[in-house]
Structure 1
Amino acid sequence: MLKKLLGLTTASVLALGLAACGGEEASQEAPADDVEGTEETPAEETASHVGEDVDFEIIGIDPGAGLMNITINQVLPEYGLEDDWNVVESSDAAMTAALKSAYENEEPIIVTAWSPHWKFSEFELKYLEDPLNLYGAAEDIHTIARTGLDEDHPNAYQLLDQFGWEPDHVEYVMALVNDGANVEEAAEQFVSENEELVATWIESVETVDGDNFTLLYVAWDETVAATNVLGHVLESIGYDVTLTQVDAGPMWAGIATGSGDATVGAWLPTTHADYYEQYEGDFIDLGSNLHGTALGLAVPTYMDIDSIEDLVVE
């Protein structure tokens, strides 16, 4: 049975020693006859209707996420949105709850988004085009281990180094959970249904006898799924595994200080770039365990908007 420590705040983690330290411009120039509405409905009002429909709010996630940093400090100012738009600090769970409510009622909503995530299989969504490419290219999710892990737990280290899967794998686990399965049960089901894949992770790995091992993770659905799957596999070779949920900063600090053994939820090179730079030299980067991620702003496909530029109010 995996042991879980859930919902630790930054303060409690410190106690454990985890923390060191509108419309396009063409619409403005269009003749009055081409603008919908009467003379009392100027082009400017038409151009800003998307913002008005969502109260000029973009529903975000936890404030420590790189996705939030990019959105607030790069996307808003570079697209000229900072004076009109507000990014609401939230969480993965709160963001998806707001999205679910809006989607079921066909109401407009704009959210910070990333893939892989179950919301893209549950709802018909689209990323807004990012002409300035501020969200960058697809990211990888890396496995990060504490220094000395290869000597202290060589078999776990080898398993971590060999761990890798595809977006459809993790989305399958997330979908099981979203459909009502317990995450531990979903992880066990995935492992039992993908024996050939799991065999590549544990190839040449020897069993142990109850060695303690701690995985740190943030409460992002794909990271929760990956952590539980790996935790299940570690237990199958004899480790006594504890899964500890923390925020992104304490997760990196915990690996750097050795309070946690590893994480399989490091988004690079963008989302966790600041933490990577801050703690570089105090951890081991085992490389990518998943390719093909994406970051950006997403909306339901029923919304008549295609680009971040469409959010500009002229």
Structure 2
Amino acid sequence: MLKKLLGLTTATALAFSLAACGGEEPAEDAPVDETEGTEEATEETATHVGEDVDFTIVGIDPGAGLMNITINQVLPDYGLEDDWNVIESSGAAMAASLASAYENEEPIIVTGWSPHWKFSDFDLKYLEDPLNLYGGAEDVHTIARLGLDEDHPNAYQVLDQFQWEPEHIEYVMALINEGTSPADAAEQFVEENADLVATWTEGVDSVEGDDFTFLYVAWDDVIASTNVIAHVLETVGYDVTLTQVDAGPMWAGVASGSGDATVGAWLPTTHADYYEQYDGDFIDLGSNLHGTALGLVVPTYMDIDSIEDLVVE
């Protein structure tokens, strides 16, 4: 159980008590160790956050690139592997844990990414990453099975032309988080952004009930993007099936042809292992979204700014 965050107390100077019988003052030349208090305060600061969160980082799906980086690079390279643990869960479970902690103003550290609705609902910050292990901003790519351009040329063209901005996807994510179903949120977005959607369907012919299958992971951003592009394909006549899987099966499914496409491939970092594993067995249609970020995320009320602050001296 996460412990309540305790504020760091400032060091106070201890005054010598006057002797009851004589009021004797301390010797003026008594040595003062100015470093002792500083060292103790530094150690207290270094261990404080870890103790308050039970040295636990709340993660997401096992096998996700974000988890691999955190466990296999961030922990060892920052010297955290002996003290810290990363809990495997899911994007939804991570968000639920964050929401619960935030509501009670409790400390919590999570593996985070943006765009994500949590940044619009809560005051959060990424911990600085001096070693740049999480890398710079990523793109979200559209990945299609081999032969899709021949079997479903109109769907292929929509996917090839599909591109939007973080504020677009965050709008859909916020609708879903507020209780709108993913399908209804997608329909609302498409209706309200006709000009943008027209750039995706430009030159596309209608079809009559052709089957199309999207594979997607249960990440809030991918749920939003998959539902939006699925609705667009439905408007041109496709019968679309959405199949939720983990990241590994998502890539394997597209590579094997059991799924037609995914619009939730985070590259070049998060899904780098899958990209390398299945390279040559899929078509990379390029980025559909720029401006993502990865890292460790905490509420702004926590007095911590960098991953280096997690180190226990």
Common fold: TM-score over 0.5: yes
The residue aligned with 2:172 is 173
Name the TM-score, length of structure 1 as normaliser.
0.88
Pairing 1:163-312 to 2, within 5 Å after superposition = 163-312=162-311
The residue aligned with 1:146 is 145
Name the TM-score, length of structure 2 as normaliser.
0.88
After superposition, the C-alpha distances for 1:104-133 in whole angstroms (9 at most, x for unaligned) are 111100000000000000000000000000
Distance 1:30 1:208, change over 3 A: farther
Same amino acid, percent of matched pairs: 79
CA distance in 2, matches of 1:270, 1:126: 20
Gaps of 5+ in 2: 1-32
Deviation of 1:58 after TM superposition, in Å, equals 0.2
CA distance in 2, matches of 1:293, 1:183: 21
CA distance in 2, matches of 1:43, 1:126: 23
SS in 2 for 1:276: helix
The residue aligned with 1:31 is 35
Distance 1:131 1:42, change over 3 A: closer
After superposition, the C-alpha distances for 1:248-287 in whole angstroms (9 at most, x for unaligned) are 0000000011000000000000000000000000000000
CA distance in 2, matches of 1:208, 1:46: 63
Amino acid at match of 1:312: V
Distance 1:118 1:42, change over 3 A: closer
Q: CA RMSD in A?
A: 1.4
The residue aligned with 2:105 is 106
Amino acid at match of 2:35: P
Amino acid at match of 1:269: P
**2:79 pairs with 1:75:** no
Amino acid at match of 2:133: L
Amino acid at match of 2:286: G
The residue aligned with 2:85 is 86
SS in 1 for 2:288: strand
Pairing 1:47-62 to 2, within 5 Å after superposition = 47-62=46-61
Deviation of 1:44 after TM superposition, in Å, equals 2.5
SS in 2 for 1:31: helix
CA distance in 1, matches of 2:201, 2:300: 41
The residue aligned with 1:97 is 96
Gaps of 5+ in 1: 1-28, 36-40
CA distance in 1, matches of 2:125, 2:220: 19
Deviation of 1:138 after TM superposition, in Å, equals 0.3
Deviation of 1:146 after TM superposition, in Å, equals 0.3
Bigger RCO (CA 8 Å, 6+ sep): 1
Q: Answer with 1 or 2: which has the greater Rg.
A: 2
Amino acid at match of 1:277: E
The residue aligned with 1:121 is 120
After superposition, the C-alpha distances for 1:73-123 in whole angstroms (9 at most, x for unaligned) are 000000000000000001111101110010011110000000000000000
